[in-house]
Homo-oligomer: A and B are copies of this chain.
């Protein structure tokens, strides 16, 4: 099953030619989760040929415009496409009020329900679950209420090892084995142990989205061992003071957090428009954590 993250925007507050506001799509199997939705996200989805109709959940980190001003246009387009399936929206208090006001003033009720969940950005708690994943909030420390999101794949079923299977098993028996159940005869004796004919499922994958925040060491505990960590890196470390003032992190700090957390891979993004060349940011983060890449528009990372 796929577990792919696609980056739609790498810019911080001010967009540039080719650098757009923050948005990401996590695709897990046939499901898609949109994470933040900066202005013109719908145009990025078109560019990346991502069919948005598959998305049922949108997670918004905070109410700075570069993280959610694309939401209203996207919902409007889904309405024009005739969507009827409800859409779940997660975000801080106030997001529903902005949305309701926009819709009322434009005289356009949507063709589908938006089911809003107001998340407590100060807590690390599960806010969503489906057959494929759980999603927990990650408290960020920013100028306004803000949280990241941690996506954890649910454990899969054990895998059958064909060469070890006796012949003649019916589908129900095979499914029981993948669920970790042994097969028993009529009097209850185990005649086939699942451990003998199956192997463990692949390790569940995980993705942690951390934007926007000042460096917060305690975050490492919450994302320990994560397969992929996205951490904002608005500034180079020489701008640490400015980073702290504005509620942001430096590339060095992003690398430090990945190392502290024992992450497997790091993506850095949300770059200040002062950096036309992003290599210095990448090098700075890599000095702390080698397996770092730039979260640039169009990048897809498969786990």
Contact = CB atoms under 8 A, between A and B. Distances in A.
A42 interface: yes
Interface in A28-58: 39-40, 42-43, 46-47
Contact of A76 (B17, B65, B106): B65
A195 interface: no
Contacts of A106: 63-65, 94, 144
A66 interface: yes
A130 to B, nearest CB: 28
Contacts of A95: 105
Nearest to A62: B106
Given A69-B73, A73-B65, A43 B20 contact: yes
Contacts of A102: 65, 98
Contact of A42 (B15, B43, B98): B15
Contacts of A21: 73
Interface residues of A, number: 38
A63 B103 CA distance: 9
A27 interface: no
Interface of A: 13-17, 20-21, 39-40, 42-43, 46-47, 63-66, 69-70, 72-73, 76-77, 80-81, 94-95, 97-98, 101-102, 104-108, 143-144
Given A39-B73, A69-B73, A69-B76, 19 more contacts: A13-B76, A13-B77, A15-B46, A16-B46, A17-B47, A20-B43, A21-B73, A39-B70, A40-B43, A63-B105, A64-B108, A65-B102, A65-B106, A66-B73, A69-B69, A94-B105, A95-B105, A98-B101, A98-B105
Number of copies: 2
Contacts of A64: 106, 108
Nearest to A104: B94
A72 B65 contact: yes
A47 to B, nearest CB: 7
A188 B95 CA distance: 72
Nearest to A75: B65
Given A16-B46, A17-B46, A72 B69 contact: yes
A72 to B, nearest CB: 6
A95 to B, nearest CB: 7
Contact of A39 (B14, B39, B80, B107): B39
Contacts of A97: 101, 105
